[in-house]
Structure 1
Amino acid sequence: MDNQKLAQLIVENLGGENNISNLTNCITRLRIDLKSRSNVDLEALKQLEGILSVIDQGTIQIVLGPGKVTKVANEIHENTTISVDVEEEEDNSEFDMASDTKASYKAKQTSMFQQLFRHIGNIFVPIVPGLVASGLMLGIANLITNLANPDAGMLDPSVLETDWFMLLSAIGNLLFGSLGVFVGINTAREFGGTMVLGGIAGLLIYAPVLGDVGSLSLFGIDLNLSSGLGGLLGVIAAAYLFTQIEKFTRKRMADSLDLVFTPLITVMVGSLITIVIIQPLAGLLMDGITWFLVDIMLQTGGILGGYVLAATFLPLVTVGMHQGLIPVHLELINQYGSTTLLPILAMAGGGQVGAMIAIYIKAENKRLKNTVASVLPVGFLGIGEPLIYGVSLPLGRPFITACLGAGFGGAFLSLFSVGAITVGPSGVVLIPLIADNKYLLYIIGLLISYAGGFILTYLFGYKEEMVEKLYGKETEKAEKTKAPAQQEEIIISSPLSGELRPLNELSDEVFATESVGRGIAIFPSEGKLYAPADGKVTTVFPTGHAIGITMDNGMELLLHLGLDTVEIKDNVFEVNVTKGEEVKKGRLLCTFDMEAIAGKGFERISPIVITNSDDYTEIATVNHKQIEAGDKLFTVK
């Protein structure tokens, strides 16, 4: 039975998705809270293929085993409305490495600037679908306009005066005409303010009345007013200011007066500061950014500037700072009618595509080739993260050659000033949004970036030794998997110091009945967990209470600290390793607070289990009552 069918039958036998109030998955089992027991068939659940055990202790526990439990939980999450707390497991999917690599890079975004760009991304990313839709509509209108040009002679010029054409253009311009409102609303939401007040901040920046007034006198100082001064960066700053004023005022305002006076003070004070301070400063900042990118990098720098911009864009992507360029693109569109920056930066994805093709041709590792084949199609569509985080960045050198190759496409586009009428997609999806009928030039630039990434990666960017560090040699892996059947015995050391107890004495039925594998339990005398053998960390549960290790010979070990400790949400466990990390015997994996576990009412006795124990003919535990970490624990044949 496949995992999707099993997930469906589990939900059905639990009375349907509306009967499930909570579902989480531990490292070996699903834990389910039900609203009613009337339509639940536990006996039918126990008979389902793939279910190791079903335990009813108020909360229903369905034991599926490591790895499988996460896949089944994912199927429930994707095919029902049930919210599932899902742990990621290693299943040889190409997206596992991508998500792990991406998470490690995102976790490093701790500097003030990186956090700022993350906030900007959170503000603009929800707007991007609207920008793409509006931009495509304007692109269609632009194409009709070009075809209706008398020189083209392909459409009757009167089509431009029809109601349908004017309606198409008007709808395409709707979002761009009110973009400041949406940015202000999203900024207020991002920083915890009232969204409508953020929208007012956005309206203020682009208010036509500012241009009509022209200037104001404040304390003898003449202020020049201008609608749109500061652009979308000004909107973000103003909406942030409104949020801070609102929070400050609300803390000091009586509850009975809050509804009336807090928003009034926010808008009045915020508007004054915005007009006097924020708009002029944001205007200077935006002018400076535009000057550097357009005047210096593109006009003065020419093809060299285009090369540098395209070649250095992907490092910004890896740390999330690329989202900070969205308001710059939109300001360029506002000033010049298009952004020449976006097509140049889009070449970075083209370099990645070329690099993937080179890797696919040269690679001998089947797993890597399958990964590349899976992520390459979305790369052509301008979605580069699976390529970056799944292949080129973990390998290292292909990431560099892809960036360098992309620069050639950027240099070509800068030579012809190819622009885009909106932001959003890249790759081939950007073609309809290219301004001034320069579609062919953009396509040529894209092909150049493909070729650049391919040639540099094929010649300099890939060696099979890189793959072996990630996946290991396939022939060696196959031999190691067979090794346990040929070896006399395998020695497993104890990961803990403490008192040995048989599994059948445990209060947890799953471990006591050896549903997830044979092993031993240790009542720890020290809060330190060590690696019992050389291997790879294949599972680290988010709480830190359970770690899985696959030894070099294929044996799978589950180290579970305490019983039911998945429910502990405090920082009781401090894990020192990450999923996918290679460890040596004796490596400190985790430290834990034994007293805190007991103080919260949980048992600290810890099962040590060989989850694929059916692959071995004999598992013998040492005949001791006490054991020290590092001493021999199992002899396996």
Structure 2
Amino acid sequence: MTTTTISNDVPKEKKETVMNRILGVVSGGFAPILGVLAGSGLISALLAILVTLGWLSAKSGTYAILSAAGHAIFYFFPVFLGITLASKLGANGFVGGAIGAALLEPHYTELVASKAQNVDFLGIPVILANYSSTVFPILIAVTIYSILDKFLKKVIYKDLQMFVNPLISLIIIVPLTVLVFGPFGTYVGGALAVVIKFLSSQSGMLTGAVMGAAWSFLTILGLHWAIIPIFIANLATGGDPLSPMIAAAPFAQIGMGLGVFFKTRDKDLKTLAGSGLVPSALAGTTEIITYGILVRYKRTMVIVALAGAIGGAINGALGVKGTAFALPSFLSIPVFVPIGFYLIGTLTSLVIALVLTLLVGYEGKSDIELAKTVKEFGLANVTRETILSPLSGEIVPLSEISDPLFSTEMVGKGIAIEPTKGEVISPVNGTVTTLFPTEHAIGITSEDGAEILISIGVDTINLKGEYFTSKVKQWDTVAKGDLLIQFEIDKIKAKGFDVKTPVVITNTNQYLDVVPAKDGKVQANDELIRLLV
């Protein structure tokens, strides 16, 4: 739930829709890997430029090694997304990564490559498919895994959870992914292919409008792989009319990304948009814009769909064809004929998306705009998740902590508390994901994915556990208010240590902002930190 408290006549509560919840999870899963996506995309763009200029051969060892660096994140996408998405959902990120890795493990990929027939799992027929670079299967698989994980934490004895929970999860989820989640996408994609073939036989303009509008979203779901073989088959018969239609979609994304770059005042978003434009324009890799902007801001979806539909309809109506398979970009323009008509369709998409983004913005009353209102005028508090205070005491800013890891927010944003009582309680419902051997610090991941680090005192690791008593173990499931650690304030101070305790959100980059809920004195269980998305 997203809670909005505004003075005067503004409603106090705004319920989050199912779609917002889904998009929040998806964007939260992609947020930690946007940086490596951007870097990898720029490598692909650089290689495309070098090959086009004739400075590097696509058959050289240099190209192969740099291509591996640029494409690794995309090929192993299920692994990375499995890790981040599971963490976002409060489950074990490494188990999520292992689920994704199972789809790329040689024993399975050899089956796919061999095109083996009559493959089964315990007598159940298996539909083999290549899941590299896919999103949809791992999204479903990890979501189901997170639900299973929460159930297992309730029924498995705590001391056994560390290895029993991953064991059961992998045995159940990996076969389900291969048997159900993955093939589901294959069936849906096949059905879409049939629909597209039918539409293309009826009207080029109508097909172009549908393809241009839908392609970005089919890509997000990983359903585009079932349609690409149609492109390749059409090339063998003299030219493909579908690829110019879908080319309008990535050009619409480029236009939208350019509009966001010019319109936003948020430095991080401007950097993200800028880094996404180069690989999108030169190499046709739009993942940064797609997952960094499109899935986060609903208005951009409408803009991209509308601009893509218009450009796709133009290319369809003018009979533009692709002469070779290539990702749509400025460097691949010569692949499409007639070039002039192709440019009319794709550049129309780009310009419409750019103009609409500049005119109507990339979001309505978005969390970003509302958060700015909070900061500038103090009118509202916008909360995606609330972290309660784990301690009673006096709130102090992190800048007053002598440890630069906390004072510079290198670990994450948050606040610190000068405790008056030597008890740390759980600020959320979640799981103890880290417990230092010295028991002076503890990390908890909430059910909604917030990662909270509570470090009692400064440099108290040097006490080697003296004066600290943990009441929980790593991987324990805890509820709000559960006692986590007891510590002896007076004895710690007597040893010359500062007991100011940082409470920080270590996955700060997954949120719009991390803001204090109050200042001054605080009691355990009071609202302490609000996370904005």
Normalized against structure 2, the TM-score is what?
0.44
Higher relative contact order (CA 8 A, sep 6+): 2
Normalized against structure 1, the TM-score is what?
0.38
Larger Rg: 1
